[in-house]
Amino acid sequence: MSRTASNRAAPRDPFAVLGRPLPPDFYRRSSLQVAPDLLGLLLCHDTVDGLVAGRIVEVEAYKGPADLAAHSARGRRTARNEVMYAAGGCAYVYFIYGMHFCMNVVTAVPGAPEAVLLRALEPVAGEDLMRERRGARAATAALARGPGNLTRALAIDRRQNGIDLATSELRILRPADDSFPRPAPRDIVRSPRIGVDYAGAWAKRRWRFSLRGSASVSVPPRARPAR
């Protein structure tokens, strides 16, 4: 067959084998609705070093202005969190503790400052590159366990702040492979968010969502039973 014209014309899409982007409406909902729906999807980053992808297994919803744990609490709007006020579907990346980046998915409609923090992935592609970036000879399940480790394993930093997650080098995809099925509701665990004790009653809300049984979830969702 010599029908190479169309092949030549089509730009190579390194993401195509992994899955397809989500439609804009997926992100234009409350962070409380989007958060559990992100579980099982793929976060992928294509850089000069190679393509890396992981299955999202742990997230947290932040819903300003009411939510006092959110950067947008009480309607706070600064240069740092400005992108939270944009339309859902882009990345919000910020620097914390002098050494870590955290990545969020902006949700809801323009003007509603909501986001979902991505806390952990199970490696799916580019495991060697992830391990190289993490340095240590870490276990596979731990390569992107925890928000700081996730951004480091995927080489995510300020440069990705505000970019579109459907069209950029950093994307979220619905997996094409049947070996990554949509998680059943009973496999989604709700628990309080991590590291927001300063937010009082808001810290007790179970706005963390994780996949039951995943070895990559950062903090065991259930407090250890006392015995």
Partner DNA sequence: GAATAGATTGTCT
Partner DNA sequence: GACAATCTATTCT
Q: Can you give the binding site for DNA, defined by CB under 7 A?
A: 60, 62, 69-72, 76, 78-81, 84, 92, 94-100, 102, 104, 115, 117, 134, 136, 138, 145-150, 193-196, 198, 218, 224
What phi, psi does 201 have (nearest 5°)? -60, -30
Distance of closest approach, residue 176 Cβ to DNA, in angstroms:
28
- By beta-carbon proximity to DNA, the closer residue of 125 and 138 is 138
- By beta-carbon proximity to DNA, the closer residue of 15 and 95 is 95
- By beta-carbon proximity to DNA, the closer residue of 18 and 56 is 56
Cβ contacts of 43 within 8 Å, gap of 6 or more: 53, 54, 56, 118, 121, 154, 170, 171, 172
For 87-155, the DSSP string reads -SSBEEEEEETTTEEEEEEEESSTT--EEEEEEEEEEEE-HHHHHHHH-S---GGGTTBSHHHHHHHTT
Q: How far is CA 219 from the centre of its chain?
A: 16
Distance CA 218, CA 85 (A): 28
DSSP state of 23: P
Amino acid at 214: S
- By beta-carbon proximity to DNA, the closer residue of 72 and 214 is 72
- By beta-carbon proximity to DNA, the closer residue of 12 and 137 is 137
- By beta-carbon proximity to DNA, the closer residue of 27 and 92 is 92
Burial 124-152 (b: 16+ CB within 10 A, else e): bbbbebbbebeeeeeeebbbbbbbbbbbb
Asked if residues 92 and 82 have their Cβ atoms less than 8 Å apart, the reply is no
Distance CA 220, CA 109 (A): 32
Distance of closest approach, residue 45 Cβ to DNA, in angstroms:
16
Distance of closest approach, residue 25 Cβ to DNA, in angstroms:
22
- By beta-carbon proximity to DNA, the closer residue of 21 and 114 is 114
Distance of closest approach, residue 73 Cβ to DNA, in angstroms:
9
Distance of closest approach, residue 58 Cβ to DNA, in angstroms:
10
Distance of closest approach, residue 188 Cβ to DNA, in angstroms:
19
Distance of closest approach, residue 48 Cβ to DNA, in angstroms:
24
Distance CA 143, CA 158 (A): 20
